[in-house]
A and B are shown apart, each in its own frame.
Chain A
Amino acid sequence: MEKEWSARIMKNSTMKMVHDDDLENLLKSLDVYNGVISGEFHCLYCGKTITIDNLSSIVPFEQRVEFTCDANDCQEKLIKREYNL
């Protein structure tokens, strides 16, 4: 089921991005790398299991680190979500 979240994509005219080459390091620093590898996380939009391959964004949600996946619909929702708030 789709969850409501308040985190923003753009803050103070700044967007945060992670490049593929830095992803593993970032996930380790956030202490979620092993969880992603073992399939513990699910997309906030469609519920699909998050993997290193399909991970599209990292979202702060209810004091936890969560994710969205790279399915077209979920990417679209992520880009448009601030408008739909």
Chain B
Amino acid sequence: MNFEIIKLLASKWGVPICAVIAIVFLIMQAENVLLWKGAICEFFSKFSTKAQKAALSSKLRGSIIKTISKLEMEKDIIPSDLKVEWVSSEETESFLTEDQVIVRIKKKSNPQENLINATAAFVNAGMLYNYRRYLDKMVMKAANLNMIRKIVQSSGRNSLTYFEEEYLPPCLSLDEEIGDFYIKLKDIDKNGMFINILLRELSKAAGSLFGEDPDECLIVESRELVRFLHNIAMRESNEESLLQIKNNYFKIAIILTAKDRTLKKSGIKPYIHSIKSYISKGYDTIYMFGIGQKIITAQDIAKYINEDSENMYFATQHEYEHVFKDGHRKKAVVYEISAKY
């Protein structure tokens, strides 16, 4: 919005109305305001402790809120906010009663290091908090690293570089398997399946066990789910691969609205038919993808499903950015089709 537009709006509606609109806009964009505040404070952080503190807490909170809201993640998957409370004095008794650790932020440390360590602490403490004990540890560790990377991406290029060059290598060198899972999850994420399928399915499956003892079967199947999604992520467009998995905890099928010839020949009917067929065969959730121009096809199919009153299933849309193997990106949607009740 340039100055001329602001002047025009102010002369048309008056300054108070424009001010209200600006405030509403700022509230709606709270995460961006926090990130801007963080960037400005970082500039002054060499001269002032107050600015140093504000830079860290604003960037941390801004990048978390921005990532979590953009990715539409439920609270069961990860908390949507993190506030930093700066402590300068505390009574011993209340410190012991509250039972909460106080983390030291060193003045001379790289600001990116402080930011990434705090982001890592947030993800490790909060992601799938109620469910992680039911899931495979390697999958969880790799998923945590992947989530830290996604949040750090919102903090800016310097933060991401620090994460990739300084934070990640020692974590991956701890165990070859973590490295392998991390790379698999990164590929899965480029195809919009990390949050939209993997974390949602892990959360649902572990949620069904909540209050019970962990089941070895779910631990094994959570690794199997990663391998299944990775095969789909790595397939060539003309390659046939298994698009459904049905075991004790995961009964999901994937539909890719990608074949032009199917559409031209029979419209959306074959898709509706295959969704109904999966449902009748006992699949709990069908994930339908539409990439680029195919978004419209996916939307038409979802509209048909949601408007069909006899249908017991409902399609929920999630948006993401699809990253192809050659690095180019396209807008995409994935519909989660599952039982209404």
Is the pairing of A and B real? yes
What 1/0 flags go to A45-65 for Cβ under 8 Å of B?
000000000011111100111
Per-residue B-contact encoding for A8-21, CB less than 8 Å = 1, 0 else: 11110111111111
Q: How distant is A26 from chain B, measured CB to nearest CB, in Å?
A: 6
B residues in contact with A3, CB < 8 Å:
none
Instruction: Kindly supply a per-residue 1/0 record for chain A positions 64-77, scoring 1 wherever the CB is within 8 Å of any chain B CB and 0 otherwise.
Output: 11000010100110
Interface size class of B (residues with CB under 8 A): 35 or more
B304 at the interface (CB under 8 A from A): no
Within 8 A of B (CB), among A17-52: 17-23, 25-26, 28-31
Decide: B102 and A10 in contact? CB cutoff 8 A. no
Pairwise interchain contact A29-B104, C-beta atoms closer than 8 A: no
Tell me if B84 and A15 are in contact (CB < 8 A).
yes
Given A9-B121, A21-B107, A30-B90, A83–B132 Cβ distance below 8 Å? yes
Contact call B100/A83, Cβ cutoff below 8 A:
no
Please tell me if the beta carbons of B84 and A19 are within 8 angstroms of each other in the complex: no
Contacts of A17 in B (CB 8 A): 56-57, 84-87, 102-105, 118
Q: Which residues of B contact A9 (CB under 8 A)?
A: 100-101, 103, 121, 125
A7 to chain B, nearest CB (A): 5
- Give the distance in Å from the alpha carbon of A11 to the alpha carbon of B126 in the complex: 10
Complex contacts, B118 vs chain A, CB 8 Å:
15, 17
Complex Cα spacing A54 to B199, Å:
37
Q: Does B276 contact A (CB under 8 A)?
A: no
- B82, B106, B117: the one contacting A14 at CB < 8 Å is B82
C-alpha spacing A78/B126, complex, angstroms: 14
Interface of A is mostly: mixed
A-side interface residues, number (CB < 8 Å): 42
Which of A16, A17, A56, A64: most chain B CB closer than 10 A?
A17
Is there contact, CB below 8 Å, between B86 and A65?
Answer: no
Give B52 Cβ to nearest chain A Cβ, in Å: 7
Contact assessment for A18 and B102 in the assembled complex, using a CB-CB cutoff below 8 Å? yes
Give the CA-CA distance A69 to B175 in the complex, in Å.
Answer: 24
Chain B CB within 10 A, most for which of A22, A75, A83:
A83
Interface check B236, CB cutoff 8 A: no
Complex Cα distance A53/B98, Å?
26
Contact of A57 among B96, B103, B124, B170 (CB under 8 A): B103
Chain B neighbourhood of A78, CB < 8 A:
101, 103, 121
Of B52, B90, B144, B170, the most chain A CB neighbours within 10 A belong to B90
> Complex: how many Å from CA A19 to CA B117?
14
B101 pairs with A7, CB closer than 8 A: yes
A19 to B90, CA, bound (A): 14
28 A/B residue pairs, CB under 8 Å, sorted by A? A6-B99, A7-B99, A8-B101, A9-B103, A10-B125, A15-B83, A16-B102, A17-B84, A17-B102, A17-B103, A18-B104, A19-B86, A20-B107, A22-B86, A22-B89, A25-B88, A28-B89, A29-B89, A29-B90, A29-B91, A30-B91, A30-B95, A58-B95, A58-B101, A60-B96, A60-B98, A80-B124, A83-B124
Q: A60-B98, A78-B103 are in contact. List 6 more A-B contacts (CB 8 A).
A: A10-B121, A13-B82, A15-B122, A28-B89, A29-B90, A30-B90
